[in-house]
């Protein structure tokens, strides 16, 4: 599902009409939190979440945290819901055996960097993963009251921020941001922040950047047909252009979209007819059939922190 355009415009009539439904959504979450009995693991659990529906950069942040911990000799293990996959878990992801239809695209990406477990019951997945780990990195789960993380990080896409500031369905927020900051240890802002964020208390705000990591032998000549089924495809297209790639055509698909054979055939035919190369995101690439992957380039991206020492201080509290 694509986010409604009015979510990222100034608060208007559509948002106002949907505000009562947003309050119902908020009350349901409050009731769920009130009756939950959070599970606290014996090892540190670092939750990487957000307050906005859709892509904010959680998965690149989780990968960056894993690299940081691995550099210190730690053994991080990812735990995620496995959104988009059929498996309920708890299950350890095997990229050689599982597909995106089984475990979801995010889990496959994470499993290439460190062991990854999926589970709709996140507490059960953490219990299964803990014996292999020194740290659990929980990809998403900030609004999950069944887990008591050691460190809670909220990722914000600087370009879109909090949208119109309203709760779903009136806006993109899963919960009120000011209330969320009361239980956060830090906020991670990816890219330049378009407008200031409201805070209930003083907490660290860590600045990060997503940068493309094209190899020296990546063919930059010619034009590309770029396609993406992520939360904000425009962000991917901008990254392609920043990397010096010429995009002749762009094609948007819904977030976590499982491409059908006719869709892939249409992409291939258009690229061939216009003498274009196909390019997509790493998250989309893992959802492609093996036979189609060979004709699609991937734009690899890496998240870097402006003040890595500040991030280490936050993680050290775990």
Judge if 255 and 273 occupy the same domain: yes
Judge if 250 and 286 occupy the same domain: yes
Residue 276: per-residue pLDDT: 95
Residue 81: per-residue pLDDT: 92
Report the candidate in 281, 284, 277, 279 with the shortest Cα–Cα distance to residue 301. Answer: 281
Residue showing tokens 């219990």 = 127
Mean pLDDT (the chain) is 91
Residue 130: per-residue pLDDT: 95
Give pLDDT tens digits for 272-291. Answer: 999 999 999 999 999 999 88
| CA angle (150, 30, 81) in 5-degree steps | 50
Q: How many CB atoms lie within 10 A of CB 283?
A: 24
Q: What is the DSSP letter of 259?
A: -
Mean pLDDT across 105-119? 94
Whether residue 247 is contained in a domain is answered as yes
Judge if 168 and 199 occupy the same domain: yes
Whether residue 262 is contained in a domain is answered as yes
Judge if 51 and 187 occupy the same domain: yes
Residue 63: per-residue pLDDT: 95
Judge if 205 and 230 occupy the same domain: no
Q: How many residues would you count in the chain?
A: 318
Q: How many CB atoms lie within 10 A of CB 309?
A: 7
Cis before 125? omega within 30: no
Judge if 71 and 147 occupy the same domain: yes
Give pLDDT tens digits for 236-277. Answer: 999 999 888 999 999 999 888 999 999 999 999 999 999 999
Going by pLDDT thresholds of 50, 70 and 90, the confidence category of residue 318 is low
Judge if 149 and 56 occupy the same domain: yes
pTM: 0.89
Going by pLDDT thresholds of 50, 70 and 90, the confidence category of residue 317 is low
Whether residue 19 is contained in a domain is answered as no
Whether residue 27 is contained in a domain is answered as no
Give pLDDT tens digits for 81-107. Answer: 998 889 998 999 999 999 999 999 999
Judge if 206 and 227 occupy the same domain: no
Q: What's the CA gap between 136 and 78, in Å, rounded? A: 6
Q: How many CB atoms lie within 10 A of CB 32?
A: 13
Judge if 282 and 151 occupy the same domain: no
Whether residue 101 is contained in a domain is answered as no
Mean pLDDT across 202-220? 86
Judge if 144 and 293 occupy the same domain: no
In this predicted structure, the answer to whether residue 213 has a pLDDT above a threshold of 80 is no
Whether residue 14 is contained in a domain is answered as no
Residue 29: per-residue pLDDT: 85
Whether residue 84 is contained in a domain is answered as no
Is the CA virtual torsion 86, 113, 62, 234 positive or negative?
A: negative
Q: Give me the number of domains the chain comprises.
A: 2
* Domain around 192: 33-75+134-210+305-315
Judge if 176 and 204 occupy the same domain: yes
91-92: strand order across its sheet: 91-92, 116-118, 76-80, 135-139, 45-49, 151-157, 186-190, 205-212, 301-305
**Percentage of the chain exceeding pLDDT 70:** 99
Mean pLDDT across 187-206? 90
Residue 46: per-residue pLDDT: 97
Judge if 280 and 204 occupy the same domain: no
**For residues 247 and 240, is the Cβ–Cβ distance under 8 A?**
yes
Whether residue 258 is contained in a domain is answered as yes
Give pLDDT tens digits for 139-182. Answer: 988 899 999 999 999 999 998 899 999 999 999 999 999 999 99
């Amino acid at each position: 599902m694509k986010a409604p355009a009015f979510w990222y415009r100034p608060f208007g009539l559509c948002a106002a009409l949907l505000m009562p439904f947003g309050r119902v959504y908020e009350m349901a979450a409050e009731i769920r939190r009130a009756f939950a009995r959070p599970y606290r693991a014996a090892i540190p659990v670092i939750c990487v979440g957000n307050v906005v529906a859709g892509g904010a950069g959680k998965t690149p942040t989780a990968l960056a945290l894993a690299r940081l911990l691995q550099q210190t000799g730690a053994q991080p293990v990812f735990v995620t819901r496995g959104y988009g996959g059929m498996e309920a878990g708890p299950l350890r992801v095997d990229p050689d055996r599982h597909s995106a239809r089984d475990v979801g695209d995010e889990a496959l990406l994470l499993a290439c960097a460190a062991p990854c477990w999926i589970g709709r019951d996140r507490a059960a997945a953490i219990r299964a993963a803990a014996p292999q780990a020194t740290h659990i990195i929980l990809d998403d789960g900030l609004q999950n009251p069944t887990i008591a993380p050691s460190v809670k990080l909220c990722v914000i896409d600087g370009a879109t921020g909090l949208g119109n500031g309203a709760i779903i369905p009136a806006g993109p927020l899963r919960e009120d941001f000011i209330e969320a900051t009361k239980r956060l240890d830090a906020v991670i802002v990816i890219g330049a922040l378009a407008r200031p964020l409201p805070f209930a208390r003083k907490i660290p705000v860590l600045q990060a950047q997503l940068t493309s990591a094209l190899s020296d032998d990546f063919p930059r000549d010619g034009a590309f047909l770029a396609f993406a089924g992520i939360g904000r495809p425009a962000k991917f297209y901008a990254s392609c252009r920043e990397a010096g790639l010429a995009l002749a055509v762009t094609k948007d698909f819904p977030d976590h979209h499982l491409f059908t054979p006719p869709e892939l055939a249409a992409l291939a035919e258009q690229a061939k007819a216009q003498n274009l190369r196909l390019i997509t995101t790493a998250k989309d690439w893992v959802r492609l059939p093996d036979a189609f992957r060979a004709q699609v380039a991937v734009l690899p991206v890496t998240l870097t922190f402006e003040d890595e020492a500040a991030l280490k201080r936050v993680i050290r509290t775990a």
